C-alpha cells in the first residue's frame, strides 16, 4: 500500500487517469464501475454513495476535481454517474477545462474532451444547456407577468390582518406612539409602518 502510494506521488509529474464512481442506491453495481475504471487504466480513484442532483453535495467528486492537474483525465463509466442535468454537467466540464483536465465517459462513444470530436460534442451540449436555461427563465418571467395581470402578489405575505392595519394607521395618526413603538407593538420593521400607513393613499 505504501509502495503504491509512493508510485502514485512519483507519477504526479505525468498525466494521470482519475476514476470517479458513484452509486445512489444499494442496488446499483459499484464494483462494475470500479472494474471498468481499472480496465481503462485509472491510477487514482474517488468514489461515494450520494445523490447526483448537484455537484455541491458530492465531496468525493470535489476532491477528484481538486486532485486533478493539467493534462490529467477524469474518467467515469456513465454520464448519469456525474450529473443529472445539462446545466450541472456543463458546469463540471467547464471547471475541469479551466484546470486543463480532460473528461471521458466510457459507456458513451465520443464523450472524450481530449479529442477534437469530444470537445465539439460538449460545446454543443453546453449550448443546449444555455438554451434550456434561457427558455426556463423566459417562461418564468412570462408566468409572473400573467399572474400579476390577474392580481397575484409576489413577495412576502403581509403579517398583519386588515383590522390590525387599520389599528396601526389609527395609532400613527393619533401621534401618541413613536414610529419605533408602533413597529414594536405590531411586530414589524419600522419601514413597514410607513408602507402600511400609505398603502391606500392615492399617488
54 annotated active-site: no
Collapse the DSSP code of 15 into the 3-class scheme (helix H, G, I; strand E, B; otherwise coil) and give the result: coil
Please, which residues have CB within 8 angstroms of residue 50's CB and are 6 or more apart in sequence? 22, 24, 57, 58, 59, 60
Collapse the DSSP code of 198 into the 3-class scheme (helix H, G, I; strand E, B; otherwise coil) and give the result: coil
Which of 24, 54, 167, 192 is an active site residue? 24
CA gap 48, 159 in Å, rounded: 45
37 and 21 Cβ atoms separated by less than 8 Å: yes
CA gap 89, 55 in Å, rounded: 9
Residue positions annotated with a catalytic role: 24
Amino acid at each position: 500500500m505504501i509502495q503504491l502510494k509512493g508510485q502514485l506521488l512519483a507519477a504526479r509529474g505525468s498525466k494521470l487517469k482519475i476514476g470517479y464512481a458513484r452509486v445512489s442506491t444499494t442496488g446499483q453495481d459499484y464494483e462494475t464501475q470500479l472494474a471498468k475504471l481499472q480496465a481503462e487504466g485509472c491510477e487514482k480513484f474517488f468514489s461515494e454513495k450520494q445523490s447526483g442532483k448537484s455537484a455541491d453535495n458530492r465531496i468525493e467528486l470535489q476532491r477528484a476535481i481538486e486532485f486533478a492537474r493539467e493534462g490529467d483525465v477524469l474518467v467515469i463509466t456513465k454520464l448519469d454517474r456525474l450529473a443529472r442535468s445539462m446545466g450541472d454537467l456543463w458546469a463540471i466540464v467547464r471547471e475541469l477545462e479551466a484546470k486543463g483536465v480532460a473528461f471521458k465517459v466510457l459507456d458513451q462513444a465520443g464523450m472524450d474532451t481530449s479529442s477534437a470530436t469530444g470537445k465539439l460534442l460538449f460545446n454543443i451540449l453546453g449550448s443546449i444547456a444555455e438554451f434550456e436555461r434561457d427558455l426556463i427563465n423566459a417562461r418564468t418571467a412570462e408566468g409572473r407577468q400573467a399572474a400579476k395581470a390577474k392580481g397575484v402578489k409576489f413577495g412576502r405575505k403581509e403579517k398583519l390582518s386588515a383590522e390590525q392595519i387599520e389599528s396601526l394607521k389609527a395609532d400613527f395618526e393619533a401621534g401618541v406612539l413613536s414610529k419605533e413603538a408602533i413597529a414594536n407593538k405590531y411586530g414589524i420593521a419600522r419601514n413597514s409602518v410607513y408602507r402600511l400607513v400609505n398603502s391606500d393613499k392615492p399617488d
